[in-house]
Amino acid sequence: MKNVKLFFLIIVIFVSTINLTSCLNIVRDIKINSDGSGKETLTIEFGSDFMGMLVAFASIGDSTNEQGIIDSLYNDEIFIQETKEKYSNMPGVTLLDIFSTTNPDSSKTMKVNYFFDDISVIGSSFKMEGENLPESNTTVTYEERGNEIYFKYYYESEEDEVTVETDSSDASYKESFAKIFEGDKLVYNLEFDYDIISSNANNTDGRKLTWEIYLSDIYTMEDPLVLEAVLQK
């Protein structure tokens, strides 16, 4: 825990001295079958600023190894292999394919396609790729109530176990991360096999719902993030 705190305090100082912004956009395209199984295509866009930030953080204390760090971060085979190991060892998931490429502007694009046996899996599958988001408790339910189905995606950040003396630093690094990811989005596109009666989505298109969440809001939110919908069987 102390090492984590030190790392984040370094980030706070780093961010406070320069006008640092990132570019990390995440899109989850999820098709949910009537029985709760389905398929997801996860797309993550790592902007060139974000990649540069990773290099800068990883080089703290060892600037002589900067080129090795760059080579490692931009190695698409490493991206693919590490992600394949994570998803291949995850119960309820059948990995279809992984795509990773470095773009001409030094940004990176990654796509992961997989089948899931049960809708609850989508709450933990992304956590494995979301190391840049706060630690969280996520539950996903798909409950039948007569002729209706209630869908709920519940995301709650885990509070760090800290003393009163470090509360101010916790708030500082969370606000700093919010600043770094200001403007970056996490987008959920969920398509169901049933008609939609109601939801709290930003947009509805037939049986498809879209939620757009700013990553900066995730770092500073006090209430849980809840995506919910009522479907007609």
Of 32-36, 87-91, 155-159, the one with minimum mean pLDDT is 155-159
Render pLDDT for 117-160 as a digit per residue (tens, 0 to 9). 999 999 887 764 444 445 558 899 999 999 999 999 998 876 54
Report the C-alpha gap between 42 and 116 in whole angstroms. Answer: 13
Residue 171 phi, psi (nearest 5): -60, -35
Closest of 193, 190, 230, 185 to residue 208, by C-alpha: 190
Of the two residues 99 and 158, the one the predictor is more confident about is 99
Of the two residues 157 and 195, the one the predictor is more confident about is 195
Number of domains in the chain: 1
Inform me whether the pLDDT recorded for 5 exceeds 50. Answer: no
Determine the pLDDT at residue 199. Answer: 98
Residue 32 domain boundaries? 2-232
Q: What is the DSSP code string of 145-206?
A: ETTEEEEEEEEEEPPP---GGGHHHHHHHHHHHHHHTTT-EEEEEEE-SSEEEEE--SEEET
Question: Given pLDDT bands bounded at 50, 70 and 90, which one contains residue 200?
Answer: very high
Inform me whether the pLDDT recorded for 179 exceeds 50. Answer: yes
Question: Given pLDDT bands bounded at 50, 70 and 90, which one contains residue 166?
Answer: very low
Report the C-alpha gap between 39 and 113 in whole angstroms. Answer: 7
Predicted TM-score (pTM) of the model is 0.79
Most confident of 7-21, 103-117, 186-200, 214-228: 186-200
Inform me whether the pLDDT recorded for 41 exceeds 80. Answer: yes
